[in-house]
Structure 1
Amino acid sequence: MPPKLFLSLLTFSLLTLSVAARPYVLVLSQEDFKDEVPADSDSSSAEWDEFGDSDSHKSEEDLDPGSWRQIFEPSTTDPQSQSQSQSQSDTDALYYSAVTKLMTGDARIIEEGSGEIETAAESGHPAAQSVLGFLWGIGLFRERNKQKAFVYHHFASEGGNMQSKMALAYLYTRQDMFDKSVKLYAELAEVAVNSFLISKDSPVIEPVRLHNGAEENKEALRKSKGEEDEDFQILEYQAQKGNAAAMYKVGLFYYFGLRGLRRDHSKALSWFLKAVEKGEPRSMELLGEIYARGAGVERNYTKAFEWLTLASKHHLYSAYNGIGYLYVKGYGVDSKNYTKAKEYFEKAADNEEVGGHYNLGVLYLKGIGVKRDVKLACKFFIVAANHGQPKAFYQLAKIFHLGVGFKKNVPLATALYKLVAERGPWSSLSRWALEAYLKGDVGKAYMLYSRMAEMGYEVAQSNAAWILDKYGERSMCMGESGFCTDAERHQRAHSLWWQASEQGNEHAALLIGDAYYYGRGTARDYDRAAEAYMHAKSQSNAQAMFNLGYMHEHGQGLPLDLHLAKRYYDEALEHDPAAKLPVTLALTSLWVRKNHADSLLVHIIDSLPGVYPKLEAWVENVLLEEGNATILTLFACLLTVLYLRERQRRQAVVVAGEVAQPNRPNELGVPAPI
């Protein structure tokens, strides 16, 4: 009997995956510190140029050259976007035309776009080279070739393309080539940090997981419908009626592209200004950010300082960080003043604003206006990191990368850099993919998630794989000569699930096990199925524990061992009480197998795999939903077992008068009949 059957009704409850970011708590011991802290060094070193002349003045398009933003978020009011559109070269125009065609879902037009990308790439266009590397990697209208994909990503990376650097960094990490991946992730994380806000923390916009186990994640998707969402429409109505808090929230949603809204800095600016007129202080802080960054408006540090100062007077303590930053840089103020900067950072920290801890850490790490103290800096960073401050992760990554204050740990540095790098400007791909999915454009969503999957985003890997499995031909999967065959889709989904499982996705590991167990998209291999289930089990997945118990019970890919089978069944119940019914039935099956090894009932149970497909089809189409057929069948088996137990008990009573027999414990722990 396939291991999936006993838990077919429990898939949703057992495999629910969190949409939120995984907690990343740093707990460091004295052993992690170096015995000696390096003496004071030149605080202007480029290695620690957090407050120096960085790229924070650049636009998102400058930080992510070749970004698809002008395709998915065209702006007619942003002065930066307008000037960039007017200065496009012919090759740029060809590149954006080609990318647009790749998103159409029309095989003929996609093939045309593929050819245009190749033409632009041959002219040395880094962004086109990056996309061509992606096309070679997935085998779109060309035979899949990992070597050519690597070469084009290498050229694009050398030309400054950030998305190719993400792809190469992830590729090196998968191969444990941390010395190479850490350098790329360090550069990418720095760009990501420069795109963050200067005062308050940017909201962590995690990619939405389209599925909960095998089912669509309807609740998360409902909250991401943007302007079509009923809650947003109510909020916008309240804002239009003059509610200041609603104005601020609407502006926030547009500024960051939250809740599935298309990001629009100009609309955000308009709503923030309206909210300020109503006395809404939080909008003052965001206006300071907008003017400091020049998002949807001409950059003006003097106005930024004024708005942040107004916000701080309304007890918005995060604004102190922005004011301190401007004093460190000397922007919008008379001159640089490290003493004032430290005072503002301390005010923020004293009021439990984690950004203040981070900024103080930078001052002590670099010795800006204070005596350099690496250990004290690390303590500030750890406090900030354990409250989810992404900039603190970045500084700790640098510390572990270079071995400053802590022992050098390149793999940990790589993981921390990656965590920050994935929040860079290129993460906008996730918003656009979700927007396409919600509008029913599954093919465009799949293409965008596939692009992110290549860059190492685990959620994108599982989303792309799920789309392939869920939608089949509707996924618009393109292969070497057009639409993917079933075998190509299975193979591609298998590869994506495997990558997601490597990054800790327990549901992905479970599906890999199922693929090997059933021979879906690959040759049937019980040994590899057991390995995948073991991987999922290590992440406390109850379904995987149940499956391992089943495989031990039947000797499939694992030694035949009824006691180990019982142990795994018990573990499944311990980790998920909802598994009580299927585990009880499984333990009943074990009892039958132990006490009636060669009986007809055992042969009936073992024959269920052959009978199940026909029974399942009948039940699904005629009687019940998928999975209930197995429960009914096993319930009948349970009744039979109870009958046999009762008959055995009666025979024991008759024999007891003639031969005294000691009671034997129920070794397999099957619940006694009532």
Structure 2
Amino acid sequence: MKTGAIILLLFGFAGQAKTASAQAVEVEKPTQDMNVVVGPPPLERAKRLKRDNLIEKARSGDGRAQADLVLDYPDGPYDGFDYKSALKWFHAAADRGDMDAHYNLGNVYQMGWGTEKDIQKSIHHYEIAIAADHAEAMSELAYVYYYARMVDEDREKAFDLFQRAADFGDMYAQQMMGTIYYSGEIVRQNYAEAFHWFNKSAEQGYADAMASIGDMYLGGIGVTKSYKQAYFWFERAAQKGHYLGQYGVAIMHEAQYYRPVNLSIAFKNFKLSAEQGYADAQNYLGYYYAAGRGTRKNISLAIEWFERAIARGSIHAKRNLGEIYYSGNDVEVDYERAFPLFLEAAEKGDVRSQHYLSGMYHNGLGIEKDIDQAIFWLKKAAQSGDASAQFDLATAYHNGDGLEVNYSAAFKIFHELANRGVSISQYPLALMYLKGNGTEANSTKAIMWLKRAADYGTVEADYSLGMIYSEGEHVSQDYKRAYEYLLYAAEAGYGPAQRRLAVFHEEGLVGPVSIEKTIYWYEQAVKQQDALAALILGNLYALGEKIEQDKKRALLFYTLALEYGDDSVQDVVNGLRNDMTDDELKDVERMLLEWR
């Protein structure tokens, strides 16, 4: 009957769990009773003997036995058992003044076991038991008023009953008192009082309360944050088979709040919780199967668990399943299946799904292309605070993609993002300061943001700084500093920086001329499909002024320049091919295959 409310602070998937650094903790595990009784037969005989004795006493009119018989065997103590008989026995026991029987009659009429539901009769019997200080009856009637079960909601009456039952030691009522103080419903929010009542309930072994205490320690709510204590209480609840305790243990491994992290333990507990129907755990279990975390990767089981979580209303699972079909993660890409999943999640406020929808409408993936809808969903995601959506919206304003060009709006968003530490916005913000787009030109601020972006690994920023120092724009010309910035970008595989380094070595700007290094960096740029670098190498080999003339290599690089988009070399390529023998052309084709 008891369905104690449980505080739910444990966070869900979002595609990905939150991570946090945490000190290694050693968890005190509850002492296990090692006095194991071997062999079930004596225990089974004892159970049968107890049942038979109760049946005999109940049939002879013993009211207490009649009540205990139904209490101990709610599914029936023998074949052919029915609740109509139980109702008769409960009434017989109640007529003899048995308060447990009145309490159970309250249960029977509330739930309609063996009779029609009758909330007034239920309340009548609960109140008789309550008059005799029956704590469980107080607690159960409090639930009736608290959750408005077939009666008008009366939270104050519910609170008074929970308070009385809790003072009498009813662990369910104590859990509810904790929940009421925690939520601030009915009474002023008081975390210390909430913790007090959760602790009282947990001391009696109530797993709901244990999970709630774990939550409070995990969040540092009303108590000093302690991952060690959080894990201890979650583990105690999990040992009792509680789905939130299992989920809490799993989350603490997944989020690295517990050390050493053990993803196998996380997987096991997500699975145990998921099998009890907890949607957040089912979503995480799908993620674990999809990513191969703590278990072997199994996309079929991932889809199955995402679908089970969706059936229980998980928005995150809709988005995660949508991502599988969108990305083709071990399944065939299926935009038409992904789109409705993203749409349903987006309409319920999932920000990442809103961003996905924007891209799908923009590119016509799984739905007819619709720029207006693309911008609508992009703005929704941006307004919800999603940094990547805000960045894309600023880019749309800057480039006029689906919106009128609005440098001021773009600048404002890039500036806000940069000040929040969103590194991808620092480079475009620097360029806007440099060019005076959406703001007054300010080379000092431009260089400051370029340096910050470079520190975060934005290779375009390194390249831009290299070019600024190389050309002496806005700063004193400094080839040495320019080379350092260009080298960072070049070693990261940025073609324009590699091409510029080749020029430095070709012209001897930071040391003696080195044709060997010149060719090396031009070739590195060509590997990045840099058409200009390919054209320059073609010219070098065709002219033979700085290196030995080589018609075949000239044709090789001119052809690559043409393939990479430089149509100006078409006539040159045709001319060289006409001047070559078949064997020479075969050599060039072989070299092209190696480059491609």
Q: Tell me if both proteins adopt one fold, taking TM over 0.5 as the criterion.
A: no
> Greater RCO between the two (CA within 8 Å, min separation 6)?
1
Report which of the two structures shows the higher radius of gyration computed on alpha carbons.
2
Normalising by structure 1, we get a TM-score of 0.28
Normalising by structure 2, we get a TM-score of 0.32
